[in-house]
Amino acid sequence: MSAFKVEIRVMPRASLLDPQGQAVQHALHALGFEGVAAVRAGKHLVVELQAASREEAAARARAMCDRLLANPVTEDYLVAVESA
């Protein structure tokens, strides 16, 4: 078993209204940052776990996303495994 650090990005599905991202975009505009076409706000989770291989670490992280970390109705996720 080795230690892995898994970085998980959970984002609101592109087809859904993301009012947090819109509010941030408006704030950037108000601060004078021009040319900001869109902002979307999501979550970043860092999970440290023990697994036999990189593949197993990724598979377990995906299972975590499917069961708890992401809502399949409203969110998409991306899993990236690093050796700890």
Residue 16 touching another protein (CB under 8 A):
yes
- Phi and psi torsions of 9, nearest 5°: -110, 125
Q: Which stretch binds another protein (CB under 8 A): 1-9, 27-35, 51-59, 70-78?
A: 70-78
In this chain, which of 4, 8, 11, 12 binds another protein, going by CB under 8 A? 12
Residues that bind another protein (CB under 8 A): 12, 15-17, 19-20, 23, 68-69, 71, 73-74
